[in-house]
Structure 1
Amino acid sequence: MTNELKNPQYYVNREVSWLKFNDRVLEEARDLQNPLLERAKFLAITQSNLDEWYMVRVASLRQQVKLGHTKLDAAGMTPLEQLTQISALAGKQVKNQYQTLARSILPAMERAGYTLVKPEALAPDQIAFAQRFFEKELLPVLTPMAIDGTRPFPFLANDTLNIAVRLKQQNDNNDDKKFAVLQVPNTSGRVIKLPQAGQSILVEDIIQHFIASLFPGFIVKETAVFHVLRDMELDVADDEDTPNILQEVQTKLQERERGQVIRVMFSSRASKHLRKQILNPLSIDESRVYDVNGPIDLSFIKSWLKLIDEPELEYKPFQAYENPGLDAEHIFENLHVHDYLLHHPYDTFKSVVDFIRQASLDTQVLAIKMTLYRVSGNSPIIKALGYAAEQGKQVTVLVEIKARFDEENNVHWARELEKRGVHVIYGLRGLKTHAKAALVVRREDDTIRRYVHLGTGNYNDVTANFYTDMGILTSDSEIGADVAAIFNILTGYSDLEYFHQLHMSPDGIREYIYRKIDDEIKNAQAGNPAEIFMKFNSLSDERMIRHLYRASQAGVKIRLIIRGINMLKVGIPGISENIEVHSIVGRFLEHSRIYGFHNNGNPQIYLSSADLMTRNLDRRVELLFPIKQATLRDEALNIFNTMWEDNVKTRVAQTDGTYAKRDRRGVATVNAQQAFIQQAEVQVERVRHEQKQKTIPKFEPLNNPFTQ
């Protein structure tokens, strides 16, 4: 049976599945039910998604091909076959991106009064403005670099926009094949606002319009914009032979900037001569070059939207719910009574920040321990931890300096925390620490009590506003003991084999989920109701997929909400006809992980930092934790079921691996994210009404450094 379930026909290629996810994001850019500026943001997101995918995943496949690897993936494809297929699919996606821009976004923006003006359409006063801007802001920082026998092709940094130039010397009619390159500076922003209301121009268009002033004595015959991406995978030698992991990461960050060119986007108007002069020195084949008709690199949209203040063209803002029980004055007292379930961004992330802040202020708190994977650039949690250490508390923080594309930021914060007296740990050798945990140790009368926050998402107060995540705040003694033991493992030498309530990767989460799936299989075989319901970001672990297939074969009903990658195929007769997969792509990025089991009518629900990916289950420190209190389990189950009933932002996986919107004919409309917003607003109004009745002054700790 195991060998049968390895049939490549039962699996979707990982990279193909990811591209289908980005297609679903692109659909949101075309959805007229979304506000205009939000549609534009979705289009920009597809660009940043695609860029990161190229820099990491495509780069990894190319390395495998270069090294001669021919191992088949679950779908039966070699690395070379995968590259061939995904290059073609990515090309179609790029074409769809630019069709969406040209046919949908730009016309709608123009109707709304916002136009990107081309140089040839500039009015005389606009030309004068553009020239002044060029001479004052751009000319001093532009560096034209000639390409000839004495001056080799220049280094082009990752994620840079560049202009290729073909020139002719004024006194030489026979030579029109001199070439140069200049990088478009990012000092002024990508989009420049013109004096006329609603009109803007791309900075590269200004440069091209006045580029002749950079080449006196020459005639500019042709210019073309192009964008370069490089292999940005960080290969850190994280083993016993690496004496200083922090220094190793810093060294590799410098090396990464010179990685192999992995993709070039080129203006479709460029001549063959100009393309050849640029592409040949970059040693890149045509399968990784995309000619586009429009602004190169759609991330320019983010810069454009910063110039537009039109709230009516954006999602309506809402006020997140702040549970009164988590008020700083009473938070530790209330956590004695019951746990709190948080569902962000509908529940404010401020409650988590206040938990750490109050711990830093409270004179009875002895120690704070946290894991940090990604934090914001001006993190209030970092400030609170530093303040706590300065007040003499024992503060220990594990900063994961190998968090992809946040390495530099995390190295910075690690150094800053150390300066303020925090004990900083840089993670475990060979493993990324992706778990999200905070532990507060407090002296109360003659005892020591532990308070814990566990979450599915990062301690990032910025992304918490548009990522959906869940977490618990608790003083449960068993969970507290488990978290304390986990920090001992992370910071010292400990080989604990038993936890009371938590499960920890590597290995622990995989084995526990296997056991829970097996329990549901036994229930189904005994003729009892059996169900598995899960929500996570990605499903790419083949062994876990086979376990789910076996559960489906046994008659277990399986409901999966998977935002992104999904290598499992639904509806295969005799294999997966009891599995249904939904994907929600909407206003907020679905990031929470829920693992639920029917358990003979007594549902067990767990939250986790881990997706069902091999890296999360086998090569990362992750945590799976239970929702113990019955009322909170019911709340979590209602959250899952509301998302399952969504028929506005949900796409349903089909047997061939594609996704289709749900049929809404004859059924009530359910937009889960909007429903959660409405629930939050009702709770906010209820609390506001109750506070008016009580007129109790809000508690403000004396000498609070965070309010001064």
Structure 2
Amino acid sequence: MSKQIMSHYVNRDLSWIEFNRRVLREAQDATTPLLERAKFLAIVSSNLDEFISVRGAGVQSQMKAGLTKKDFTGYTPVGLWKRLIKRNSQMVTEQYRTFREVVRGMAKEGIVFRSVDELNATQTTAMERYFHDIIFPVLTPMAVDQSRPFPLVHTKELYMSVLLRKEEDAPEEEPYFAIIQIPSILPRHIPLPVRSGTKRTEFVLMEDLIEKYIDTLFKGYTPYAVHPFRITRNSDLTLNEEGAEDLLEEIEKEIRRRRWGMTVRLEVDKDIDPYALAVLKDELEISDNIVEIDGPLDLSFLMKFAVTLPNYENLRYERMEPVYPREFDETDDMFEVLRERDVLMYHPYESFEAVTDFLVQSAYDPEVLAIKMTLYRVSGQSELVQALVKAAESGKQVTVVVELKARFDEERNIAWARQLEKAGCHVVYGLIGLKTHAKILLVVRRELDGLRRYVHVGTGNYNDSTAKLYTDIGLFTSHPVIGEDASALFNEMTGYSSPYDWRAFGVAPTSLKDKLFALIDREKEHAIAGRPARIIAKMNSLSNQEMIDKLYSASQAGVKIDLIVRGVCCLRPGVEGLSDNIRVISIVDRYLEHSRMTLFANGGDEEVYLSSADWMTRNLNRRIELMCPVFDGYLRRTVRNILFMNLEDNVKAHELQSTGVYQRVTNELAPMRSQFEAKRISRWKSH
């Protein structure tokens, strides 16, 4: 039998599954603190929910449309769907095996999940009272019969299917069917009373408690089969932006339509009654991707459980307090500092409060004339938004480009947009057909020598909450060339403007890809000429075929390429004659690796860039993205140090093999865990 030729590319969706498997490995790692292992299990579930509701739904839509064409990695929609279901099923089985291991470990530490049948008399009395006083009033049993059609089942919410009989019913008669939504407004894990003085903490799950007292909801009927289930619907927005008179209203309508999206996954208890399963399949119109779960459905509840559980600090990562950037630490005038030098911040090791403080100072400074900013994902209680409101109310020109299409944050962004408009800000919802993903803040200030522009560009969102959980880079500068480009970028986003000849920036979708290609080709020319030629690039995902081919070409010319790609990577490294000079690693650790930065050796005259963009087709072609150079030599060395620190990680790094499989990096060197090493800021900040 002839050997199958391996594609030059790894499939994007299969690569994503490998990423989620690396997250699962952190939950499986015995050296990870127990409550952190529980959090990683929650992240695996949340990741999978989003993947199924968007990427999985997309593949299903292609199948329903009858598409049979192979993608550039060699998969048809049907072939890919079968592979996705199989790999996801394997991962879920592994996830729940790990869950049981973590639960056993927590029990040894005194954190116990009890079955309702194991409760003592005191606990039983307390839980019966809790059910009748707190849970029962919130529950709504929904019967399904000729007069009551099957109700709307919300995506990613937990339900219970209930089969019932009357005493007089013959055994062969069809049972009565009903469903109950588990109220997500109440805690999923309910604390149990324990003896005073004991060091144990015990819980029962709400669905187990509801099942225990389910008969109180159906007087005159006998429930005989009660099983949890959960569905995932197609949650991708399908907007007709061209025909929308009001984009905000159109997105609000689309969010409501999500409730009725196609069912793409059904999760059920492994022991579910066959009749109940048949009803669910028929009513929810789903025939495959039915996942039988051996344990509690939807482990994402473990995140809140692990975060809110008091005490047990020995079962968590050591607390890490971000330090305030030393450049701003002893001044009340951030403008004075930035007139003298650029400042680079590395989050979460350095505090995001400096960004908030800068905007607050700008809002109150009488010499500031205008503030312009992009907002993609904003936290629930954003001081940044309040500062923008204050600036507008004090008469400053405030322009905010709010991206309403930030997936799953649409409703929050709509609320912020309305608040900003009410305060007098000019709110722009981006350009038709493009998401505004660039992270940039521009402040125009009147000074003795004329107007000066102060700019902050970042790799992460202006979100003080995620800035504590993600690794990101932010640059403050008053460099005039960057300031001019920043003004031109906002003019393009808010008004009519001919294509601009960018002096510093690379901007998608017009020039970023071409600029990156030119920089890669320049390294190729240096390599051919025998000059220093190297590329080190860090990003979240790499899936654009043209970009991959460009990197393959550079590798074949002798350019040494190191890629630090957290998630999806469709490039296949280490293939003889194709990608011999390319190495790909992924780091999954305590913080979500989110920064995008690139170093080009440039024949010995190194250049360094920060960017909002991953090297994906959507980022390069369908989003407003920004890549900004770091001009200051001191800060270039700082970025270089961070990149090399990542490349030397031999504790939490995995290396992508030519087979598409990731293997943990191991070597004889001293252990190097880049995220923990980064806490020692003096090591990576250049001198």
> TM-score of the superposition, structure 1-length normalised?
0.93
- Counterpart AA for 1:251: K
Quote how far apart the aligned CAs of 1:95 are: 0.5
Among 48, 51, 56, the alignment partner of 1:50 is: 48
CA–CA separation in structure 1 for the residues paired with 2:593 and 2:241: 31
* 3-state DSSP of counterpart to 1:368: strand
Question: Which deviates the most, 164-173 or 319-328?
Answer: 319-328
| Counterparts of residues 191-210 of structure 1 (less than 5 Å) | 191-196=189-194, 197-210=200-213
* Worse-superposed segment, 634-643 or 172-181: 172-181
How much has 1:516 moved relative to structure 2? 0.6
Aligned to 1:294: 295
Q: Note if contact 2:531-2:604 (Cα within 8 Å) is conserved in structure 1.
A: no
Superposed, 1:39-118 pairs within 5 Å as: 39-102=37-100, 104-118=101-115
How big is the shift at 1:599? 0.3
Which of residues 543, 547, 552 is equivalent to 1:549? 552
Helix, strand or coil at the partner of 1:403: coil
Deviates more, 1:45-54 or 1:344-353: 344-353
Residue of structure 2 equivalent to 1:566: 569
In structure 2, the partner of 1:318 is 320
Aligned-residue Cα RMSD (Å) equals: 1.5
Structure 2 residue runs without a partner (length 5+): 195-199
Cα distance in structure 2, aligned partners of 1:681 and 1:463: 24
Residue 494 of structure 1 aligns to a residue in which SS? Answer: coil
C-alpha distance in structure 2 between counterparts of 1:168 and 1:496, whole Å: 71
Distance 2:602 2:442 in 1: 30
- Alignment pair present for 1:575 and 2:573: no
Measure how far apart 1:67 and its partner are. 1.0
Task: Tell me the alpha carbon deviations over residues 626-666 of structure 1, each in whole angstroms, 9 at most, x when there is no partner.
Answer: 010101001110110011000001000111000001123x3
Match of 1:265 among 264, 267, 275: 267
Displacement of 1:680 in angstroms is 6.3
For 1:427, the equivalent position in structure 2 comes to 430
- Residues 497-576 of structure 1: pairs in structure 2 closer than 5 A: 497-576=500-579
Larger deviation: 187-196 or 668-677? Answer: 187-196
Please name the residue that 1:213 is paired with. Answer: 216
What is the rounded CA distance, in whole Å, between the counterparts of 1:507 and 1:514 in structure 2? Answer: 13
**2:135 is the counterpart of 1:138:** yes
Matches within 5 A, 1:173-192: 173-174=170-171, 175=173, 177-192=175-190
SS in 2 for 1:86: helix
Q: Deviations over 1:92-149 (max 9, x none)?
A: 01101101001x2101110111111111111111111111111111111111111222
Deviation at 1:34, TM superposition (A): 1.3
Give CA deviations for 1:380-408 in whole Å, capped at 9, x if unaligned: 10011001111111111000001100000
Gaps of 5+ in 1: 1-6, 687-708
Q: For structure 1, which segment, 188-197 or 506-515, has the greater mean C-alpha deviation from structure 2 after superposition?
A: 188-197
Of 649, 655, 658, the residue aligned with 2:658 is 655
Asked whether the equivalents of residues 167 and 177 of structure 1 are also in contact (C-alpha less than 8 Å), the reply is: yes
CA distance in 2, matches of 1:218, 1:460: 51
1:669 match: 671
Give the CA deviation at 1:210.
0.2
Cα distance in 2, alignment partners of residues 682 and 584 from structure 1:
18
**Paired letter, 2:255:** L
Deviation at 1:681, TM superposition (A): 10
Distance 2:214 2:170 in 1: 20
Code of the aligned partner of 1:156: V
1:347 and 1:680 in contact (8 A); partners too: no
Paired residues in the alignment total 674
SS of the equivalent of 1:201 reads strand
Q: Indicate the residue corresponding to 2:197 in structure 1.
A: none
Name the amino acid aligned to 1:114.
Answer: I
* Alpha carbons 1:236, 1:252 under 8 Å: kept: yes
Q: Measure how far apart 1:303 and its partner are.
A: 3.4
Structure 1 residues 682, 516: closer, same or farther in 2, change over 3 A?
A: closer
Alignment equivalent of 1:473, drawn from 449, 453, 476: 476
Aligned to 2:639: 636
Give, in whole Å, the separation in 1 of the partners of 2:348 and 2:682: 9
| 2:255 is equivalent to residue 253 of structure 1 | yes
1:300: how far off? Answer: 2.1
CA distance in 1, matches of 2:665, 2:320: 27
1:308-366 CA-to-partner distances (Å, cap 9, x unmatched) read 43222111112222124325622101111110111111111111111111101111111
- Partners of 1:30 and 1:497 lie apart in 2 by 51
- Does the Cα contact within 8 Å between 2:536 and 2:562 map onto a contact in 1? yes
SS in structure 2 opposite 1:435?
coil
Find the partner of 2:628 among 625, 629, 633: 625
Distance of 1:585 and 1:623 partners within structure 2: 25
**AA of the residue aligned to 1:29:** A
> How big is each residue's C-alpha offset from its partner over 1:569-591, in whole Å with a ceiling of 9 and x where there is no partner?
11111001110000000011000
Q: 2:649 aligns with which of 631, 646, 650?
A: 646
Residues 149-164 of structure 1 aligned to structure 2 (within 5 Å): 149-164=146-161
Aligned twin of 2:118: 121
Query: What is the CA-CA distance between 1:369 and the residue it aligns to?
Result: 0.4
Residue 71 of structure 1, CA deviation: 2.4
Task: Tell me by how many angstroms 1:514 deviates.
Answer: 0.3
User: Quick one: which amino acid aligns to residue 477 of structure 1?
Assistant: P
**Matched-pair contact (CA < 8 Å) for 2:164–2:223:** yes
Deviations 1:66-100 (A, max 9, x none): 11122211211111111111110000011011010
Residue in 1 that maps onto 2:227: 224
Alignment identity in percent?
Answer: 43
Partner of 2:33: 35
Match of 1:611 among 610, 614, 625: 614
Secondary structure of 1:257's counterpart equals helix
- SS across alignment from 1:9: coil
- Report if the CA contact (8 A) 1:339-1:629 is conserved: yes
Structure 2 CA distance for aligned equivalents of residues 600 and 563 of structure 1:
28
Secondary structure at 1:677 match in 2: coil
Q: 1:628 to 1:681 in 2, by over 3 A?
A: closer
Which amino acid is 1:304 matched to? F
- Are the structure 2 counterparts of residues 623 and 390 from structure 1 closer, same or farther at C-alpha, using a change threshold of 3 Å? same
* Residue-by-residue CA offset, 1:212-264 (whole Å, 9 max, x unaligned): 0111111111110011111100111112x221111111111111121011111
The Cα shift of 1:176 comes to: 6.0
User: How far apart, CA to CA, are the structure 2 residues paired with 1:416 and 1:617?
Assistant: 31
Out of 396, 416, 434, the residue aligned to residue 419 of structure 2 is 416
Closer, same or farther in 2 for the Cα pair 1:681/1:222, shift >3 Å? farther
SS of residue in 1 equivalent to 2:80:
helix
TM-score normalised to the size of structure 2?
A: 0.96
Task: For 1:329-344, list aligned pairs within 5 A.
Answer: 329-344=332-347
How has the CA–CA distance of structure 1 residues 170 and 460 changed in structure 2, closer, same or farther, with 3 Å as cutoff?
same
Pair 1:436 & 2:439 matched:
yes
**Alignment match, 1:242:** 244
Separation (CA, whole Å) in 2 of partners of 1:475 and 1:58: 45
Q: Which residue of 1 aligns with 2:591?
A: 588
- Which letter does structure 2 place at the counterpart of 1:473? F
CA contact (8 A) 1:532 1:596 kept: yes
Q: Is the 8 A contact 1:191 1:303 kept in 2?
A: no
Return the alpha-carbon distance in structure 1 between the equivalents of residues 281 and 310 of structure 2.
Answer: 36
CA contact (8 A) 1:570 1:654 kept: yes
Alignment check: 8 A CA contact 1:610 1:623 kept: yes
Among 366, 380, 389, the alignment partner of 1:363 is 366
- The list of structure 1 runs, each at least 4 consecutive aligned residues, that deviate by more than 4 angstroms after superposition, is 680-683
Cα distance in structure 1, aligned partners of 2:305 and 2:678:
30
